[in-house]
Structure 1
Amino acid sequence: MSKKKPLSHGQLRRMRTNHKKKLQQHNIAEPLPELQDSSLGIEQAGTIISRFGQHADVETPDGKVSRCDIRRNIKSLVTGDKVIVRLSQHINQANPTAIAGVVEAVHPRHSLLSRPDFYDGVKIIASNIDQIFIVSSVKPSFTTQIIDRYLVAAEDTGIAPIIILNKIDLISEDEAEEIEAALQRYRDVGYSVYKVSSTLNQGVDTLHDLMKDKVSVFVGQSGVGKSSLINAMMPDAQLLIGDISESSGLGQHTTTTAKLLHINSGGDLIDSPGVREFALWHLPAERVGWCFIEFRDYLGTCKFRDCKHLNDPGCAITDAYKAGNISDDRYHNYHKIIASLDEQRHARHFRIGPNE
């Protein structure tokens, strides 16, 4: 298959212009007059429930959610942020979307969930998360490659990952043994793995227990059933469920803006925008290796400092793999991720232009 011809500078310029227009059409509302300081009340604590362009929905300790302006000196604000807010003393109760306050400042974050974006670089999705549920399923397809990509992302952020296999009611007898063996390999290196079915409501109580008193986020390919699981846990959430495309077999995106949801049994859940593939081009190869937790005992002990952990003589990682201390799929998934890094960086170079 021949390689596609790189885009010309004119094509790249038009692509960027169209991209900006789309962002303006979907994310930027008509400018509204700013609230006067004299109309604002005292400072109080708040949590960002969701962010919409230059506005954010903020929940205060009394449980009320107010749409607020964001001070211009605040450079970054995402769902999950703990903030200081001042609310208007004259809130328009008849219009819930009216601007009712101002976000004054953001507290330091203890964790960040981010993902690479071809146009914006590394983009922060949410903050102050305690655990990441990596959701997989037999449909669209079960693949350890995607799980390992999310595990690398989780390890890089320092947020505890938990692997969830959804739609277990759809597993055939032929698939069951192979999938269970793959999940066991994750348990063997220390990851928690749970099998659930949102359709049968199986394992949902376990998820409730895991999420109690924590802030969690579900990640995974579109179509694996993240929204269905949330609906099973929180029937009043009424999240849109996307069916798997019959023509492509891929899931269809249903979530566009990260939103913080409260779980009745305790804990919070941030429902974040889905991605088909979690790109890792922003990570150096050394960091990817460290994010494979079973590699850590061997890193730094190879014969050569610039060891690629493949055919290099004296490679401690390869020796551990041959000795059975690193599983076959984890070893090969690592090299697939490494091989994809340059490809993804090259693709981004041509998408946004060499001078940006």
Structure 2
Amino acid sequence: MTVFLVIIILALLAVTGWQMSKIFDLSRGPGADSSPIANDKDNRQQAQITLAFMVFLYLGMAYSFWHWSKLYLPEAASEHGNEIDTLMFISIGIIMTVQVITQALLHWFVYKYQGRKGKKALFFADNDKLEFIWTIIPVITLAGLIIYGLFTWSDIMNISEEDDPIIIEVYAKQFSWEARYAGGDNTLGEANVRFIEGINTVGVNENDPYASDDKITSELHLPVGQKVLFKFRSQDVLHSAYFPHFRAQMNVVPGMVTQFAFTPDITTEEMRNSDYMVDKVSTINDIRKENSEALMAKGEAPLDSYEFDYFLLCNKICGEAHYNMQMKIVVETEEEYNAWLSEQETFAETMEK
């Protein structure tokens, strides 16, 4: 009902505006120019408005960069992440340079070559030199960006056996993640949704000898400085494994295994102590403190203090609880990682229970 009333009000406002414009036309003097063709005064006004809009556009752009840059992610926490960031900043630099130049020329030409009585525009059908310039420059630029990106992509996707990466399976389902670590043999046992039953939540084949030493966890622990090969499976719908701080993302597709690898190079503790994260956490906790005071005034429980952690997120809208589909990631030293992993039950031990 509310939507219907809003539509009626908007329609009435539109009719009112149209009627007022007709009244305005009727109220103009007999000598007023009522021709629908723009005259010199109209052209001059529109040219001035165009210049004013250009100034507004650039001021808004500068303000947006200054005001929202604080929301950019901190430095990449993986070895290849710096390459991703470099490629992005190069792309932004090229786009902004072209945008600033072309927008300035567009608005200036509108002003400089505004229509005037008796003045005709120059027209020519084609210019091979100009067409060559605006074709070859984008071709060279895009080719350079694509070649640069392919080297980074190849490093992530093409895993050499000589790297001897740690193999971890990440299993997605509405609306949570589970991780499965290959045991001492560094080989994951066979898994399929057909084997899901009871506590066997990721569908590991109990009869596969490689599966007995696998370890299934609800947290993802990674040793700093070691390459990790992630293998992704989905139980139900299309998900997307998104590691924002590591600059990595991969679709998780039902019925197939996708994979990529990266090497984490900043521990959780090091990221927490970085200047960027200290300032961000302080700001968030200040906001939470203010909100907690309002909650306590209503007799409700205050908010917990925030502490930074890496998280694996789902970047596909996979259902009603998609927003909360996340898993904590801990990047730690090799000694801490080995100690944590040794405490986890093997698949065989879990099934025995």
TM-score (norm 2): 0.22
Greater helix proportion: 2
Greater strand proportion: 1
Give the structure, 1 or 2, with the largest relative contact order (CA under 8 Å, sep 6 or more). Answer: 2
Choose 1 or 2 for highest CA Rg: 2
